[in-house]
């Protein structure tokens, strides 16, 4: 837990409100371009609170921001109908993201927005995407199919009346044998695009096998999404090691019930995240998160071989280049 005191939370919110007032929308290219300058104005105390995750757990909760539930309006029924709902918290999350690295978006997901609305949606209850509700969202690396995936994942809670938990598990806490690690360092099967990327799922290129684990100077990192990994294509030894990794991640998993205003910061190289099942009411009071993805330049956490991947035709957008 990293607490923001009242003054620091007020400072961050005030800078976000000023950006929104000056540029009119959280999706404005001019607002995105103004983020580095706005971050430079933040106090040393705020910058210290906004440093990336720096422990073996690979995550922390930034606490102290206070959304007004009445001002938010109803929880949208689908990301496409959210519009500018909760726009102030989009900008707050962009400021937090830009303080840690470079915010990224995807041309094939949520219309290229840099902040996604994560809400339960009718007809998507049993999918392995953020729009689901009635099933366990399987622990996974965010955008694991893509070599340009985020280094950091940020989830800002704006509504969670039912205290629905996000799950997280660090590879640095898992206990794997040397043999299991050796198996999972092998690029045996691909990771396919998830159901949030319809264009990527239509890509005609041949899927390339990728490793699940990587050795780095700081320890193991991983790329993991069992719901979109064709495990049946792997040999028995690799598949057994993968199942043991799943069991270990389940063993060390923690459940984090976010409060409104909490920002969960996840190191996407070492932590998988998911969500427990819940019953969506679709009455405007359901759980509502804002999600942002961040790259941190110069991080030695990815193998060079990833540079040759096609990424299923998906291009990442960076906030300073829109």
Q: State pLDDT tens for residues 257-278.
A: 999 999 999 999 999 999 999 9
Residue 154, strand partner residues: 265, 292
Q: State pLDDT tens for residues 211-240.
A: 999 999 889 999 999 999 999 999 999 999
Residue 94 lies in a domain: yes
**Which backbone phi and psi does 266 adopt, to 5 degrees?**
-120, 130
Radius of gyration of the chain (CA): 19
Name which of 103-112, 182-191, 284-293 the model is least confident about.
Answer: 103-112
Question: What is the extent of the structural domain holding 122?
Answer: 2-170+258-298+308-321
SS3 20: helix
Residue 205 lies in a domain: no
Q: Determine the pLDDT at residue 298.
A: 83
Q: Is the pLDDT of residue 322 over 80?
A: no
Q: Determine the pLDDT at residue 321.
A: 64
Residue 154 lies in a domain: yes
Residue 225 lies in a domain: no
Residue 210 lies in a domain: no
How many structural domains compose the chain? 1
Q: What is the mean pLDDT of the chain?
A: 95
Q: Determine the pLDDT at residue 319.
A: 85
Q: Determine the pLDDT at residue 18.
A: 98
Give residue 303's pLDDT band: very low, low, confident or very high (50, 70, 90).
Answer: confident
Beta carbons of 139 and 272 less than 8 angstroms apart? yes
SS3 86: coil
Beta carbons of 290 and 264 less than 8 angstroms apart? no
Residue 82 lies in a domain: yes
Residue 139 lies in a domain: yes
CATH number at residue 90: 3.60.130.10
Residue 229 lies in a domain: no
Global model pTM greater than 0.85 = yes
CA 197 – CA 314 distance, rounded (Å): 9
Comparing 301 with 168, the larger pLDDT belongs to: 168
Helices (H), 101-227: 178-184, 198-201
CA 185 – CA 197 distance, rounded (Å): 26
CA 115 – CA 110 distance, rounded (Å): 9
Q: State pLDDT tens for residues 15-55.
A: 999 999 999 999 999 999 999 999 999 999 999 999 988 88
């Amino acid at each position: 837990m990293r607490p923001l005191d009242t003054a620091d939370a007020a400072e961050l919110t005030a800078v976000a409100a000023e950006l929104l007032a000056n540029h009119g929308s959280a999706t404005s290219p001019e607002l995105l371009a103004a983020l580095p300058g706005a971050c430079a104005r933040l106090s040393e105390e705020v910058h210290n609170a906004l440093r990336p995750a720096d422990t073996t757990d690979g995550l922390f909760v930034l606490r102290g921001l206070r959304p007004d539930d009445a001002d938010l309006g109803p929880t949208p029924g689908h990301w496409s109908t959210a519009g500018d709902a909760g726009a102030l918290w989009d900008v707050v999350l962009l400021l937090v993201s830009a303080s840690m690295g470079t915010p990224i978006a995807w041309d094939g997901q949520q219309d290229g927005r840099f902040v996604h609305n994560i809400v339960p949606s009718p007809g998507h209850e049993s999918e392995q995407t953020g729009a689901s509700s009635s099933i366990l969202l399987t622990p996974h690396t965010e955008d694991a199919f893509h070599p340009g995936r985020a280094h950091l994942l940020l989830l800002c809670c704006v509504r969670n009346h039912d205290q629905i938990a996000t799950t997280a598990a660090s590879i640095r806490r898992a206990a794997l044998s040397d043999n299991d690690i050796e198996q999972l360092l092998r690029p045996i099967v691909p990771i396919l695009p998830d159901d949030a990327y319809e264009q990527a799922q239509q890509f005609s290129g041949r899927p390339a096998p990728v490793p699940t684990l990587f050795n780095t100077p700081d320890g193991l990192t991983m790329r993991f999404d069992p719901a979109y990994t064709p495990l049946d294509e792997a040999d028995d030894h690799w598949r057994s090691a993968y199942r043991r990794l799943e069991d270990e991640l389940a063993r060390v998993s923690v459940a984090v019930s976010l409060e409104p205003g909490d920002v969960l910061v996840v190191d996407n190289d070492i932590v998988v995240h998911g969500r427990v099942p819940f019953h969506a009411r679709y009455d405007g009071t359901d759980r509502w998160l804002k999600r942002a993805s961040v790259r941190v330049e110069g991080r030695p956490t990815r193998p060079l071989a990833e540079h040759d991947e096609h990424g299923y035709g998906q291009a990442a957008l960076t906030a300073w280049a829109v």
